Chains A and B, each alone.
Chain A
């Protein structure tokens, strides 16, 4: 049994998980986000089109659906793992070497985990799951 190889595999797997979350978060933000911003942030508020989140009835009806809840969790939480990585390295690039440190990693990736937990809490407490 090769103990060196066993030892070296652990950080590689951790690296893989963070890299996977970074990449997936980037894809989710790239493919799904612009249309949400355009429709919910601009066209809806301007009254150009009817949008589901403009009225309580239609909005509550949609966010009570378990599939929509799952979709919203992916849409909101995953990109934060991408953002955390980018913003941490942005600070490094702008001359803040402390952003490389372990406490900075805990703050940035911990922040993404906190956003994920808060999103789960909001989705579970806002309009309980219904199959209507």
Chain B
């Protein structure tokens, strides 16, 4: 890992104050804890996975890191420089905007249907880099399309004339054209067929290698994350519950939730360790979580008395491996 991470998040929280019963002055309203005290860092050219169930806050975290929403608390810094002192509204016009780009979940919903493919890819360049000449703009768009294996004749088409895989590649080309240092991808392959997904995953792996861009890959598909990412963060109800090298997380998960998540993944691979771990019921509400209990309480098969008395801290349990559990698994 390089000494200066491309992105560092320190104690990021995002709380949403809900409408509803507070006292007369509007105090003590219920608060939804979408993200709670998350710290992570991503090195240059590194692919990091962020996994968890729907509603665990992973997309909110991705949006905070891409500076689309402001965190309630905590700081983000890029290459050592704080970027949270610029509000997300002003960040759009800052020259740092170029360095963090996002690829969205549904390739059809995240492009302007009235823009040609050329304009979709050119738009960020026009907004953020203002190329001097038309010729330069055209050259860079063509170059970006070529980098994602998009045939030049597709540049004149409109989104509805493209297949899902082509649209996904347009989304990546559009993000890559401004030469970002970090690409935040929110479930970029979930709408694609497996045969197409393979192409997109290989493309992303090549981009990290050749363009040295770092990836934050948000997904619920652990099998995909396993292939692409070298490190994984597991989120549950707004908290990071485990983080570590991919290999270690898969072979030796220490948190009960990680173990349950892994054992629920359909797989054909042999050497799958252990029986299926089932979690009872549904995740608890993220609204005003009990500050004195582990968030997995009530679903955890290994629950003990101490789990309802104090929330565990994220603690190191190996080199680069951390777990938030009073009684980590072996």
**Is A bound to B?**
no
Residues of chain B having any CB pair with chain A under 8 Å: none
